Every structure is written in C-alpha cells, then in structure tokens.
Amino acid sequence: MKSFFHGKKYAFQAEICLKDISHFTIYGKHLETSAVSPITNVNCIISSFSSILVDENETSNISWESTWEIKNHILAEKLWQKVIKFFQEDDFICYLEYELDDDRSLGGWNSAYKF
C-alpha cells in the first residue's frame, strides 16, 4: 500500500508491504530541489512511530534504518493506521518539515527513488 501526503516544502510517500514480514518505508521529497530520501530513519519519525513496535517488543528485527521489517502483521497494520493519522495533522507535517530541513542540510538526499 502507498499513501501520498503534501506539506508546504515537502511531499511524502509512505509505503508498506503487508506480508509475513512487512516492509515499511517513508520517503520525503523536497519540492524546491526535488531531492529525495527515505526518511524512516530520521529521529522524529522513529520517535513518532516506533512506540507501537516498542510496546509490543517487536523491535528485535528492526534496524531503524530506511526500511523497517515487521514480523507481526497486526502491528504492521496498526503502524500503518498511525502513519495515516499523523500525516493528516498539520502540526505534525510542520514539525517534520522543520526536522527534514535540518536533516537535508547534512547531505545524503540523493536517492534515485521516484514518486
């Protein structure tokens, strides 16, 4: 599944593949420069969405890198619903864009991923 969201400075794509082991990634695209990066490993993303997995001890297989692998299908679905909810909140998007400006200034926003 994929969902797209827009802020003032960034576009976002969240995707999850719900299978025996679910794969979850969020990408950010800076609208002015078209620079793209997976942002699932940015601290504010980890702190916003990891609690579902931490509370259920589902973290042993997650490296907190650009793609999270989740073994529990129910938790993966809960995570997906939380992501959808958060990305519909203007305050969250504003906070995320502020954090991404900082992250982008450190470099590494050169993913070839297109969306």
pTM of the model: 0.88
- Judge whether residue 90 has pLDDT over 90: yes
β-pair partners for 2? 15
22 or 10, greater pLDDT: 10
Residue 25 confidence class, pLDDT cut points 50, 70, 90: very high
**pLDDT tens string 28-64:** 999 999 999 999 888 888 888 877 777 656 555 566 6
User: Which helix (H) or strand (E) is 82 found in, with range?
Assistant: helix 73-86
Residue 15 confidence class, pLDDT cut points 50, 70, 90: very high
Q: Of 55, 47, 60, 50, nearest to 24 (Cα)?
A: 50
β-pair partners for 16? 24
Average pLDDT over every residue of 83-112 = 92
- Inter-residue contact 18 to 73 (CB < 8 Å): yes
* DSSP state, residue 104: H
